[in-house]
Structure 1
Amino acid sequence: MKWPAWLTPAIAALLLAALPVVLTPYTHDLVVKIAIYAIFALSLELLVGMTGLVSLGHAAFLGIGAYVTVLLAADASAPGLATTLLAAIGAAALYALFVGALSLRTKGVYFIMVTLAFAQMAYFVVHDTRIAGGSDGLFLYNKPVLAFGGKTLVNLDDKQHIYFAVWAALVFTYALLALVRRSRFGHALAGIRANEQRMRATGFPTTAYKLAAFVLAGALAGLAGFLLAVKDGAVNPELLSWHESGGVLLMVILGGIGHLRGAVLGAIALTLLKEFFQTEAWLGALASHWQLTYGFTVIAFVALLPRGLIGLASVRRVKPAATGEPAHD
């Protein structure tokens, strides 16, 4: 009997929902961090794996979402959850619309460099302006709440509440992109990834499709930025740096380009590897040189797993170039 494609992520979501029962404070924080970066990686998978657009400036949308969250909570009272969330996502999507409208005029390595340039512009705006806290960043003193009828329903200052908020956001993001992949829009993106010139010849407005994907990816990255700001209670310009963009791109590549599960696996693997190599209890003095061991390990993974971690599961993959359809998850 064939294992339904949706069953694996559904079981994973249920297990993730049950985890708080057994988590310690440290592992609770780690799982939330992994889930947020999984959302971030999924947002980039929409561009890289589904559309064929390699961006090196995706962290700009993460950082904008995070900074908007903190700036809206600057007054004495706790900000509204719905208002803050929509503002963070909207600001990231608006910047993505601006960047995409200009950068999509280029292709290949030029597109990569233009997206990097726009991300660096955003980085220096928050790094050099007083309103954004400069190089020190800003603290989030009042975390968003959702209240109805004078009763607080969701308070993101509560660890359990933020855990399930992140869980719901991850499930929503995964389900949304799974629906996009199977929709007419997703098939059009797969066609553009395989042969944009042929898609244009058949009458598809390819630039409009790519721009829509770019904006949606930016909005989802803004969602991850909102959650990261709430989790950490602080933001700094490094959230918009090219290191962050390179890190999430590495998650997508290591997990397996063309698979939603690959983006999630990449986020889990790289976050755990970084945590492991920085832990003195495991590696002793070598932990102070974690970048070296981390780099060698990533190189080994890339060399030994050309299809990424998803290849270990022997998942059947339909090549977009041969079928014109998105790869199966």
Structure 2
Amino acid sequence: MPDFRHRETWAVLIGLAFLLALPPLADAMGKGFYITLFTRILIFGLAAVSLDLILGYGGMVSFGHAAFVGIGAYVVGILSWHVFDGSPVVTWPVLVEGTENAFVVWPLAALMGGLFALVIGAVSLRTTGISFIMITLAFAQMLFYLAIGLRQYGGEDGIALYNKSELVPALDLFDRTIFYYVCLAILVAFLALCRRLVGSRFGMAVQGARINERRMRALGFSPYRHKLTAFVISGAAAGLSGALLANAAEFVGPAYMSWQRSGELIVMVVLGGMGSLFGPVLGAAAFLLLEEWLADLTEHWQIFLGPILLLVVVFARRGIWGIVAGPDRRER
């Protein structure tokens, strides 16, 4: 029997090596556009992994996950707008010499994403199934229309960012290569954190609650508390991805938290492989690359995406990651 553990390890190492080598290779070939494209892939990969934490491992089908992405983006956008307007609502250390301090603003975006996830999760996790899906969707739509109603911050037109967050003077985030590696480092760090969480007692309790909540309660665990904690962690990570997305696009708009964007995140997770952590990154890459390439052929590129997703769901139980890394250990 083949050792799929080694195959999975090699898949991760090869993928990481490719991502590390991509910027110099793209510059050498005169294809700098791919650095920007793969930066978006890394950011959406982070958002997709955060969703996989609750969808793939916790069985929580959230159809409003993009709301947390939008909240994180608006934290960056609103602070940036006040800096440009000359009337900051906060002082140092959030603002440093007219620019946003990423060491404060990005954690603040994650914090706001986590706080909103706490409120939404506290209500929605008291239900299951279709009720849970509809409540998360309802909360997301409320936040979406709230963003449209923020006339001071552009309303439906959104906010154009005139500056980016600042990490340290030596790291200029306007340099697309530096920003790419910052996004890669954050994604790798979150994947490592999720790996530890999933394999921990907490992670086992969340997965057990997905399978049989009644039995977990009989064993002395609190499924609600564990699932809510996972939901908050997921929302915080999505908020951080929104902060990165705002810096990457230099724009923030209500579309970031629309139900269509939530649907896209679910597609990324399913396409890459639910409950695999690394799969959603592959799913994000596949989705955005297909969007990029097929959009040149037709504006109705989703017509091609539908059959591809159907084939993956029917013939690859673990999505693209199952094809690359082999079956799950529980299936061997």
Q: Could you tell me the TM-score, scaled by structure 2's length?
A: 0.89
**Which of 300-309 and 19-28 deviates more?**
300-309
List aligned pairs for 1:288-299, cutoff 5 A: 288-299=299-310
Correspondent of 1:201 among 198, 218, 221: 218
CA offsets per residue over residues 67-102 of structure 1, 9 Å max, x none? Answer: 111111221421111111111111111100110111
Q: Distance in 1 between matches of 2:216 and 2:180?
A: 42
The aligned counterpart of 2:294 is 277
CA offsets per residue over residues 139-180 of structure 1, 9 Å max, x none? Answer: 111101123xxxx13221221221111110110111111111
Of structures 1 and 2, the one with the larger relative CO (CA 8 A, separation 6+) is 2
Distance 1:187 1:98, change over 3 A: same
Q: Distance in 2 between matches of 1:5 and 1:262?
A: 11
1:84 to 2:105 alignment: yes
1:21 to 2:32 alignment: no
Aligned residues: 311
List aligned pairs for 1:39-118, cutoff 5 A: 39-74=46-81, 75-76=83-84, 77-118=98-139
CA offsets per residue over residues 87-145 of structure 1, 9 Å max, x none? Answer: 11111111001101111111111001000000001100001121331110001111011
Q: Distance in 2 between matches of 1:191 and 1:297?
A: 31
* Contact 1:145 1:153 (8 Å CA) reproduced: no
Correspondent of 2:38 among 25, 31, 38: 31
The aligned counterpart of 2:11 is 8
The aligned counterpart of 2:158 is 137
* Contact 1:60 1:241 (8 Å CA) reproduced: yes
CA offsets per residue over residues 193-232 of structure 1, 9 Å max, x none? Answer: 1111100111111111011000000011111111111000
Once superposed, what is the RMSD of the aligned Cα atoms?
A: 1.8
Q: Could you tell me the TM-score, scaled by structure 1's length?
A: 0.89
Unaligned stretches of 5+ residues in structure 2:
85-97
* Contact 1:135 1:236 (8 Å CA) reproduced: yes
Q: Distance in 2 between matches of 1:50 and 1:227?
A: 25
Unaligned stretches of 5+ residues in structure 1:
320-326
Q: Distance in 1 between matches of 2:115 and 2:18?
A: 35
- The residue matched to 2:170 in structure 1 has which SS? strand
The aligned counterpart of 1:315 is 326
Q: Distance in 1 between matches of 2:329 and 2:13?
A: 22
Q: Distance in 1 between matches of 2:326 and 2:314?
A: 19
The aligned counterpart of 1:174 is 191
Amino acid at match of 1:46: L
Amino acid at match of 1:105: R
- The residue matched to 2:112 in structure 1 has which SS? helix
**Which of 83-92 and 287-296 deviates more?**
287-296
1:305 to 2:316 alignment: yes
Q: Distance in 2 between matches of 1:233 and 1:314?
A: 36
Q: Distance in 2 between matches of 1:96 and 1:60?
A: 9
Q: Distance in 1 between matches of 2:153 and 2:214?
A: 43
